[in-house]
Chains A and B, each alone.
Chain A
Amino acid sequence: GENVEQHPSTLSVQEGDSAVIKCTYSDSASNYFPWYKQELGKGPQLIIDIRSNVGEKKDQRIAVTLNKTAKHFSLHITETQPEDSAVYFCAASLDTGGFKTIFGAGTRLFVKA
């Protein structure tokens, strides 16, 4: 079945620096890749997504890139701020007759002021 690996598990950056989180997926049929941000004590919140027919998508300080050939996608956060500190999850969606989204294990991002 589909497997999603996410790296790094923990990332610490200085405020104003960029942060990059990388994910790889195993099933080439996956065609939708969302990213979620989870703050302490809350449920994950969708922050950006990309479809397999698009190579890059940007929304203000966050961007996602997708390399279908290599089966990996990345989240880029520029000009990081303390409020960006959270756990980030990547995910890949695969249609096998059910509605299944497979999540990565998460990356805990610390932004130091």
Chain B
Amino acid sequence: DAGITQSPRHKVTETGTPVTLRCHQTENHRYMYWYRQDPGHGLRLIHYSYGVKDTDKGEVSDGYSVSRSKTEDFLLTLESATSSQTSVYFCAISESKALMGYGYTFGSGTRLTVV
């Protein structure tokens, strides 16, 4: 997806270990989001950011933290990975509030497996 990259694309980690996923954008968009995708649940918001060092929780934020020290980078950290955090994680960016009519641009996703 042009302008937004996620790394790594795949990761297998052990229960209890910390994991950090990275989202990098070249669009200079103010808003960035982390979603997780699970069968039967669609996409659920974990955390979002509305500017450098400005972040807030989504609907499934327990066990996750985020940081945004630069406009282009939004990091998602699993402090102590659990099997319930096995999922596909998507980063998204937008130019403005979603309600203003600007949809999201999504990254290609990170498939995380916690064993």
Contacts and interface: CB of A to CB of B under 8 A. Distances in A.
A103 B43 contact: yes
Contact of A43 (B40, B45, B58, B108): B108
Contacts, number: 72
28 contacts: A4-B42, A32-B100, A32-B101, A34-B103, A36-B103, A41-B108, A42-B109, A43-B1, A43-B90, A43-B106, A44-B90, A44-B106, A45-B1, A46-B104, A46-B105, A93-B97, A93-B99, A99-B31, A99-B48, A99-B99, A100-B45, A100-B48, A100-B58, A100-B98, A103-B43, A103-B44, A105-B42, A106-B42
Interface of B: 1, 31, 33, 35, 40-45, 48, 50, 56, 58-59, 90, 92, 94, 97-101, 103-109
